[in-house]
Amino acid sequence: MVKRLFIALHVPTDVISYIEAAQQQVKQELKAERWQPLHNLHLTLHFLGDVDEQKIPELKKDIQIVSSIIRPFSLSIDHFGSFPKGGKPRVLWLGLQGDIESLQQMHLLLGKRLDRHESLPYDKRPYEPHVTIARKPKLHEERSLPLADWSQRFLPHPKPSWKVEGITLFQSELRPEGAIHTPLFTSLLGETTNL
């Protein structure tokens, strides 16, 4: 059986509340085909796509190995951004600040582990850490998104920070009412593994 999988970091409740307030303010200036439901907010490390469920035990081992190398680190919400950069936006997101070096290392090490699997269809585009808040955004007028202005007005200080303490393998089920993300496995950072 095939499951749609991705590897990500949890976003804690207090940070989700901060994101919700920012999302509500942006909604007054922007329409979007779909706003990201708050219960689905996460920080993707690698989107794997459709994977044979028999590969899940190996993916768990990969996550455990990487999580044993990386120590807990801190991140915080920083600014608005969009994909693609310089084109008609398809995704509105929030970028991060903090220990981005540890986050990038985590992404890189996971990618090296995933490369060991034959026919694993994971996304290999350059990594831009972000939390998606809307898809297919449309301004009321035809112009570019005022990302710097929104960052200043809608992301007040103090911006919440959180400690990243684990890596999670999620299953994503696509439904007419939107995707349901279910955590399948979490490995805590800095824990030694007996693999």
pTM metric for this prediction: 0.93
For each of the chain's 195 residues, which pLDDT tens digit applies?
Answer: 999 999 999 999 999 999 999 999 999 988 999 999 999 999 999 999 999 999 999 999 999 999 999 999 999 999 999 998 877 889 999 999 999 999 999 999 999 999 999 888 788 889 999 999 999 998 766 667 899 999 999 999 999 999 999 999 999 999 887 889 999 999 999 987 665
> Tell me, what DSSP letter sits at residue 38?
G
Q: What pLDDT does 179 receive?
A: 87
Q: Would you kindly state where each structural domain of the chain is located, as residue ranges? A: 2-188
- Give the three-state DSSP class for 189: coil
CA 149 to chain centre: 23
Query: How many CB atoms within 10 Å of residue 141?
Result: 6
Q: What pLDDT does 190 receive?
A: 93
Of 42, 79, 117, 181, which is the active-site residue? 42
130 classed as catalytic? yes
CATH placement of domain 2-188? 3.90.1140.10
Of 10, 46, 130, 181, which is the active-site residue? 130
Q: What pLDDT does 175 receive?
A: 87
